[in-house]
Structure 1
Amino acid sequence: MNALRAATFVLLPTLSLAAVVITGSIRPLQAAARALPTASAAGIMVNHPIAEDENGMPSLAFQGTLARTRVALVVDSPEGGIIGFDRDTSKVTRFEDSTGKSLVDPGSPFSPFTYGSRIVQDGRRLALEIESQQAPAPGASSVLASGTIDVSIAHEKQTHLSPPMYLEAGSAIEAGPFQMTIQAFEPSTWGDGFELRVGTNSALTEITRIAAVLEDGRRIPLERRSTMSFNDATELTLSCETDLGTRAAIEIEAWDNPRRRTVPFKIEARVGLK
C-alpha cells in the first residue's frame, strides 16, 4: 500500500446548537432555559499498516499509537462550567463504518473512550476521543458512532479567600474547599516576574481564577504556568509580574454546585481516503 494513501486525518467543523426559551413575562431573563450541552465530531484518524518490522509486526502510518481508528469528539457547553468527564459510565452504543463493519473491539474489557480528555475555553468545551484496534473496511466512506457522554457541569461561581499567610515553603493555603501547600515563591525561571509553586490534592478543573490579595488590598492575578500530576497529587506553578512580598491571602474563584449531565452523541465522520 502506498504510504501516502495509508493514512488520513480529516478535521471536521464543530457545531454548537443552543436554544433559549422564554417561559414567562414577569422575569424573562431569569426564566430563560439554559442551553443544553451538545456533542459533535471534531476529527478522524485512520491508521493503516505501511510495512512490517523484522518480527512480522505491522508498522502503522501514525506512530505512537496502536489504534487503527480514532474519532475526536467535542462537547460544547455555551455557558461554560464543564468540570469533569466520567469515562467509566459514558457509553458507545454504535461504532462502525459505512459498510456495516463493526469497529468495536471484540472481547475487550476496556472502554472505547481514551484517557486524556481536555477541558478548554473556561469550561465551554470538552475534547475527548474514542478509538478502535479495527480499521474501516476498504471502500468505506465514513465512520459512524453514537452513545452518551456523562459530564459534570456547573452554572454558578463562588469566590473563596484564604487567611493571609507567609509566602514560604510549607505554608498552608485553605480557601473554601481548596487546600494547597506552598512549595516555593521565587523569581521566575522563565523570564521576568515571579513564580508561586503549590502542591494540592484538590480538583483544579473547578478553578476558574486565582489571585493573590496583598496587605494593601491589591489583587494580583496569578496565571497558570504549568501543571504536573503524580498519582493523586498535583504540582501547580502560578506566575505573576509583581513581587507579592512576604505575606498575602489567596483568592480562588471556582465553579460551584456541579450537576451530572448525560450528553447524547450521534456522529458521522467521513474518511476521505481513496
Structure 2
Amino acid sequence: MNLAVPSLDLNVAPAWQARLALDFQRRDAATILARREHFGPLRVQKALYPEGEGVCHVIVLHPPSGIAGGDDLHIGVKVDAGAHALLTTPGAGKWYRSAGPWAKQRLDFAVGADATLEWLPQENIVFDAARADMQSRIELDAAARFIGMDVLCLGRRASGETFAHGALQLDTRVQRGGQPIWLERGRLDAAGRRAAHRTRIARRLPGGAAAGKRCAVWHYAAARSAGGALSGACVGSRAALVFCFVAAAASRADRARRADAAHLEHLRQTRWN
C-alpha cells in the first residue's frame, strides 16, 4: 500500500543579528550605566559594584552561548569623562563550526577624558571548522585609560579536537587622541596551516613574540606611567594600555592566561597611579 507523505519543511535556525549599546557616565563619585539598548540576543542585566560605586561592573550576556556561521554581533561601549567601567562575560565564548559563512563580532569602544574602560572577557574557544571574524575599534581620549585582553583557544585539545579546518581573522585598531597607536591584522587558515600577520605600531611600542609552535599570534603592548613595574613603553604620563592577543591550543592557553593575569592584576591594583 502506497501512502502519500507530505514533504518535510525543516526549519533551520536563522543566523543571529545582535546589537548592544552601553553608555557609562560619572555622577558625583559614582559611575552609572546611563543607557543600555539591545537588539537580538545580546544584553546586560544590571550594574554591579563589587569595588565600590566608582567602578561599574557589567556582565555581557549572549543567551545562545555560542556564535555560529552567519551570526553578526556588535557591542558598542561609550565611557564618558571621569567614568570607570569594567566589562566581562559569564563564560567562555564559543565559535562553532560553519558550513561556509563567517561568524562576525565587532567591538566599538570610546573612552573619554580621565575615563577608564576594562574589557576582560573569558576566553574564546574557536572550534574546528569555525570561520571567525573578530574586529575591534578602540577610540581613546588623550587622557583615557584602557585595558583589554582576548585569549583565543584553537580547538579543544582536552577533547581530542584540533583546529584542522576553518579560518580565523583578527582586525584591531586602537587610537588615542585621533591618532593610531596600534594597528593589527591577522589571518589563520587552518587547512593550509598558513598564517599571515601584520602589525603597525604608530608610536614605538614593544611587543610581538612567538608563543610556541601552536601559537598563531601573541602580541603584547603595555604603556605604563613613569616608575611602573610593567615592562613596556610610556605613551603619556597618564596613559595605561595593555592589549594582549593570545592564539594557542587549549593546552597552552591556560598557562598563557595565568601568565598575563599576573600582569593585569598588578596593573589594576595600582589603580592607574
In the superposition, the TM-score normalised over structure 2's length comes to: 0.23
Larger Rg, first or second structure (1 or 2): 1
In the superposition, the TM-score normalised over structure 1's length comes to: 0.23
Quick check: which one's helix share is greater? 2
Quick check: which one's strand share is greater? 1
